[in-house]
Structure 1
Amino acid sequence: MSSPAGANLFTGFTRLCKGLAVVLVSGYIAVQIFPSILTYVALIPARTIPFGWNLLTAGYIEQTVHGVLSSTIGLLFIGKLLEPIWGSREFMKFIFIVNFLTSLCVFITTISLYYVTMQENYLYTPLSGFSGVLSGLLVGVKQIIPDQELSPLKIKAKWLPSLMLLLAILVSLFTLEPATYLPILIFGTYTGWIYLRYFQRKQETGFKGDPSDEFSFSTFFPEFLRPVIDPIASIFHRMLCGRSDASNEARGGYTPGNTTLPGSDPIEATRRRERGARALEERLAAERLIGGTGGGKSKTDEPERDASENV
């Protein structure tokens, strides 16, 4: 028999994540019953025009059992952490943006590979799955609780996106299937970081992005590679927000020479991570206390709710 504390691990999932999980499971079942609909909802580059909606639908269509299981479980558990901190609206906005940009980048990449290699399999292989959004959500975990150690894995949360990509790359060297979703994972991770780093607006301050050094692009790589990565990343930083830097300087904001992002506050970024870590600690403490008293609703729900509202 499982203990109440163990049972609490599988409770507290948000309503939004439950709804998205139903969409993922329903999409998988529909494809198994009616395989022909995959032509219209998966990303098939040769048919994206005129079926442009597959740039949106492909992310919610899983083609394999392990794909729908991993996506559903990952969404429920990661959403349980991030949605109370970001808010339901921002959480859904993040999923929509990362899903669309990931599909768009994969589409452009496959078309480019076709023109380089002239292999038609790049045009007609159906690509789909929620793994791109999941990889982007892992970047959100890296941002909120970078130094939190995950007990079963004994690794810090900040390394989750990098380890996931490394494992996918290693597996793709020996099997063909991961090669179909490896671009989705890579672009999901990158677009998720781009959005959080430069564009996510904080309602409490109105600032955009996360300018902290702990969330720079080079932190996805081991320390010995960072001196090489940082100069390259700085080029893309100037391309993305050099004009905004100049306008902020004119308004008395940050200068282009600083490492901060346009309209951002490094102190606020640090505070946000502290609030995220504190909210997680209060959530875990509340769940342990609920488990010790036999489960069910009690006054321990109040710290969890307060932590979400304070964030």
Structure 2
Amino acid sequence: MAVLLLVGYLTQLLLPSTRRYLCLVPGRSIPCIWNVVTAGFLETSLLKLLLGAFGILMLAKVLEPVWGSKEFLKFVLLVDMAVGVSTLSLLYLLYVCGVDPKGKLLYAELGGSEGIIAGCLVAVKQLMPENEVTLLGFIRFRAKLLPSLFVVLAVVAGTFLGSALSTVPFVCFGTCLSWIYLRFLQPNSELNLRGDILNDDFRFATFFPEIMHPIIDKLTGAVGKYMCFPKASTDTSESLASIATAQLPESEKSDAARRRERGARALEERLGAKKAAAMPASADGKAPSEAEGAAGIDAV
């Protein structure tokens, strides 16, 4: 996927006319409907290309060993397509509502891997929420904060750099839609369920500051009760996760907790084995790249 980003960047750089067919251009998406997919793999800025390729490489190192290549690829493609369709729908809606009467947004060339990166960060939040992340060598925080920090950073950077239109929708849709897939739709063969509704630490409210959790829980609980659980008792005012888990046996909740612990433990053992194997070789000057790669994974 990193190579695909590089090829897309070089293509639009050498042949600028390809942007109108590969970028997401709402006014040209019909018949060029493929741009809802290609836009997520097309960077038009060298800085965004480097950041996108680095982010995909590092996040794939974390997610692919746990999910497997097939599930990881399916997740990336689903998030990419969903982000493209949602952004396209939003811009058409703004045009129909009169926010963009001249249609400038309909012919804006949008693209970038921010939606895919945002979705992968949500997956990291699901798999290892309490793992410590070190940024720039001295900034430390929990992995569960990564999606929220990425959204805030995208909004701030997009506002100051004038690229909010090509960044904020991709990041916001990537975060929300990947959470919906992981929370409710991703197949879980171990428990014969779909999604991760048993995980209380993966509620939608956890994307917001803790002081807002009760309010968000009530809102999502009301929406979930109306849309997903119409037969639930009317006196239930808990969150969507609470409504779902209230109907499941305690044994399944314990199985879900054990599954998450096994996944996190297996990943930590794998990373530790890589570092242990790389340290002697690095000391002899034979394979510094392996040690640096393991350190890079820890840093991310």
With the shorter chain as reference, the TM-score category is 0.7 to 0.9
One-letter code aligned to 1:294: A
> What is the deviation of 1:260?
2.6
1:109 corresponds, among 87, 90, 111, to 90
Counterpart in the other structure of 1:279:
266
Q: Which segment is superposed worse, 154-163 or 205-214?
A: 205-214
Please say if residues 9 and 44 of structure 2, whose CA atoms lie closer than 8 Å, have aligned partners that are also in contact. yes
> What is the deviation of 1:236?
3.4
Counterpart in the other structure of 1:10:
none
Greater relative contact order (CA < 8 Å, ≥ 6 in sequence): 1
Q: Do structure 1's residue 75 and structure 2's residue 61 form an aligned pair?
A: no
1:223 and 1:154, CA in 2 relative to 1: closer, same or farther beyond 3 A? same
> What is the deviation of 1:202?
1.8
2:161 corresponds, among 165, 175, 183, to 175
Structure 1: any 5+ residue segments left out of the alignment?
Answer: 1-19, 247-254, 298-311
2:256 and 2:46 map into 1 onto residues whose CA distance is 38
Counterpart in the other structure of 2:206:
219
1:272 and 1:138 map into 2 onto residues whose CA distance is 20
One-letter code aligned to 1:293: P
Encode CA deviations 1:46-92: one digit per residue, 9 max, x unaligned: 11111111112111111111111111111111111111101111101
Counterpart in the other structure of 1:234:
221
2:155 and 2:123 map into 1 onto residues whose CA distance is 21
Counterpart in the other structure of 1:184:
170
Please say if residues 208 and 262 of structure 1, whose CA atoms lie closer than 8 Å, have aligned partners that are also in contact. no
2:281 corresponds, among 294, 299, 303, to 294
Stretches of 4+ aligned residues off by more than 4 angstroms:
261-265
One-letter code aligned to 2:270: R
> What is the deviation of 1:144?
0.4
One-letter code aligned to 1:161: P
Encode CA deviations 1:227-258: one digit per residue, 9 max, x unaligned: 11112212332355336x78xxxxxxxx9973
Q: Which segment is superposed worse, 212-221 or 63-72?
A: 63-72
Please say if residues 83 and 170 of structure 2, whose CA atoms lie closer than 8 Å, have aligned partners that are also in contact. yes
1:50 and 1:110 map into 2 onto residues whose CA distance is 17
2:128 corresponds, among 135, 145, 150, to 145
1:30 corresponds, among 3, 11, 17, to 11
Q: Which segment is superposed worse, 268-277 or 221-230?
A: 268-277
SS in 2 for 1:173: helix
> What is the deviation of 1:279?
2.0
The sequence identity of aligned pairs, in percent, is: 38
Please say if residues 207 and 263 of structure 1, whose CA atoms lie closer than 8 Å, have aligned partners that are also in contact. no
Please say if residues 210 and 261 of structure 1, whose CA atoms lie closer than 8 Å, have aligned partners that are also in contact. no
Encode CA deviations 1:184-239: one digit per residue, 9 max, x unaligned: 00000001100000000123332211111100000001110111111221233235
1:51 and 1:239, CA in 2 relative to 1: closer, same or farther beyond 3 A? farther
Encode CA deviations 1:77-116: one digit per residue, 9 max, x unaligned: 1111111101111101101111111111101111111222
1:239 and 1:181 map into 2 onto residues whose CA distance is 32
1:99 and 1:239 map into 2 onto residues whose CA distance is 28
Q: TM-score, normalised by structure 1?
A: 0.80
> What is the deviation of 1:271?
2.4
Please say if residues 202 and 208 of structure 1, whose CA atoms lie closer than 8 Å, have aligned partners that are also in contact. yes
2:150 and 2:273 map into 1 onto residues whose CA distance is 30
SS in 1 for 2:194: coil
SS in 2 for 1:166: helix
Please say if residues 39 and 112 of structure 2, whose CA atoms lie closer than 8 Å, have aligned partners that are also in contact. yes
Please say if residues 158 and 167 of structure 2, whose CA atoms lie closer than 8 Å, have aligned partners that are also in contact. no
Q: TM-score, normalised by structure 2?
A: 0.83
One-letter code aligned to 2:111: S
